[in-house]
Amino acid sequence: MFGSKEKHAEEHFPVEKSEAEWQAELSPEAFRVLRQHGTERPGTSPLNAEKRPGTFVCAGCGTPMFDAATKFESGTGWPSFWAPIEGAVATRTDRSFFMSRTEVHCATCGGHLGHVFPDGPAPTGQRYCMNGVALGFKPAQ
């Protein structure tokens, strides 16, 4: 579970719904990840193999999160990107599991997406390691 739930509960986002509304709209796994800060098992998301041009969006609110051109194979078992779409994500310190990591969430609805690590490829050196169940994919037209 997320380490600073009290702080998270005080934050406000452009899209806000009750937990009951989120639960009714999301699959049980998407709810667990997006709203309860869970993590999907590595290698389970079909989005990990997605290679088409397009946009990865927040599964909670549909906000565009990552351009497919920034996706790379990290070998971790989760979809990974070297940069988000500007303004799409926000971060906070996650001190759960006796470690300190940078948690990434949707700037529009606050849904937990994953974590960012400083071991990614050029040009940013960042690895946005995202839960596939927290994302959707819209192919380019």
Residue positions annotated with a catalytic role? 129
Which of 139, 132, 138 lies closest to 80 in space, CA to CA?
132
| Tokens found for residue 76 | 């971790």
